[in-house]
Amino acid sequence: MKGVLLAGGTGSRLRPITHTGPKQLIPIANKPVIEYAIDDFKEAGITDIGVILGTQGREAVREYLGDGSRFGVDITYIVQGKPLGLAHAVGCARDFVDGDDFVVYLGDNILNESIADFVRGFEQGEYAAGVALQHVPNPEQFGVATLDEDGNVVRIDEKPDDPEGDLVVIGIYLFSAQVFDAIQRVEPSARGEYEITDAFQILIDEGGPVYSHRVDGWWKDTGRPEDILEANRLILDDIESTIDGTVESGAEVVGKIDLHETATVEDGAVVRGPVSIAEDVVVGDGAYVGPYTSIGPETTIRETHIENSVVIGESTIDAHETFVDSLLGRRTRLESKDGYLPDGRRLVVGENSRLRL
């Protein structure tokens, strides 16, 4: 079994963050989204992984993942070029897959449970494909699956106006090599893309059984700022407290805190977990870092209240302000403007930004 990791999307819903970097490298609890997918592959025993790259951010992904050895996997890069839909992206992996069964994992998805059972169930049958499914409150925004009495998928309706159920296809698929012939017959959809749901339907119509696996734990597609923040909350809920850094005597640290050994919480600062604080961070005098916040590397925070937020890193925040539900890009500088102290702000700030508030 091989793995195919899709990392070619443009991340348009995350702009301005993704104007300067790929969405798959946005950190959740100080760990890039794409690395969670690699961990899931490894846990399922899949170490031969093809990474599909698009036109934007490909070098950044290559630089971060390298050959995969530091993650215990072997990575092959496959250039898709212009994103033309998921079916097109999967089709680009044909030579890499070389006739094997394979798992497709969208690089901006996060699960809190292993994909091992999904893979095992597929391997125990004679299936053309497999889908991971979950019940959601807004099925009209997804591909909605209809199952037969044996639990196999008999139809997938892409973003129906009036969905028949709430069981939807999430961003993890299993395929036999049969899918490549189906992909060659997929026609562009109304939005000009080659839809993976159409490839599934071709397999179903031609009698290829499609295995279904229901995901009981949480799942997040981190395509929007609010999704990043929610995934960050979910991951931080499960962290263990590891205070390896420096906590000065006058600082207050409460709850589950993941504090890197090179980070410092100075006298007069308050940190209330769950919180993740990366390397070379200084939480200085007058700073309050509240629950469900991740502070990325080489960041300094002083005289600022921040909670339920993600600071990607290399930033300076000294604003005499309160920030909540915010996503702050790399190398952000937030400073105060005298005489105006609001109750709170909600921000999405791209890289290399400077704000006076």
- Omega within 30 of 0 (cis) for the link into 274: yes
**Is 233 domain-assigned?**
no
Does the pLDDT of residue 262 top 60, yes or no?
Answer: yes
Residue 230 forms part of a structural domain: no
- Looking at residue 19, its pLDDT comes to 45
Does one domain contain both 16 and 65? Answer: yes
Please name the residue that has the structure tokens 């189906």: 182
The pLDDT value given to residue 345: 63
Per the DSSP assignment, residues forming a β-bridge with 31 are: 28
CATH of the domain at 277: 2.160.10.10
Tell me whether residue 234 is in a domain: no
pLDDT at 13 over 80: no
Look at the chain and report how many structural domains it folds into: 2
Does residue 244 sit within a domain? Answer: yes
Q: Are residues 252 and 196 in the same domain?
A: no
* Domain boundary residue, one of 170, 191, 224: 224
Looking at the structure, do residues 15 and 111 belong to the same domain, yes or no? yes
Same domain? 77 vs 53: yes
d(CA 121, CA 299): 45
**Is 195 in the same domain as 333?**
no
Domain's final residue, options 192, 224, 256: 224
CATH number at residue 105: 3.90.550.10
The predicted model scores a pTM of 0.86
| Within-domain flag for 229 | no
Same domain, yes or no: 190 and 94: yes
Pick from 111-125, 207-221, 246-260 the range whose average pLDDT is largest. Answer: 246-260
In-domain check, residue 232: no
**Would residue 37 count as lying in a domain?**
yes
**Domain coverage including residue 75:** 2-224
Q: Please check whether residues 208 and 269 belong to one and the same domain.
A: no
pLDDT tens string 295-353? 999 999 999 999 999 999 899 999 888 999 988 888 888 877 654 444 566 666 666 56
Question: Of 189, 224, 259, which residue sits at a domain end?
Answer: 224
Q: What percent of the chain has pLDDT over 90?
A: 54
Range in 91-95, 159-163, 179-183, 245-249 the model is least confident about:
159-163
Closest CA to 3 of 165, 175, 121: 175
The pLDDT > 70 percentage for the chain reads 90
- pLDDT for 69 equals 96
Question: Are 63 and 192 members of one domain?
Answer: yes
Q: Of 12-26, 47-61, 227-241, 255-269, which has the strongest mean pLDDT? A: 255-269
The pLDDT assigned to 319 comes to 86
Give residue-wise pLDDT tens across range 151-161.
888 888 888 88
Whether residues 215 and 305 fall in one domain: no
Amino acid at 113: E
Q: Which residues contact 193 (CB under 8 A, 6 or more apart)?
A: 83, 84, 85, 86, 87, 88
How far out from the chain centre does Cα 124 lie?
A: 29
Cβ atoms 180, 128 nearer than 8 A: no
Q: Are residues 213 and 244 in the same domain?
A: no
Q: Averaged over 286-296, what is the pLDDT?
A: 96
Q: Please tell me whether residues 210 and 248 are part of one structural domain.
A: no
Residues 244 and 212 in one domain: no
Say what the pLDDT of residue 177 is: 92
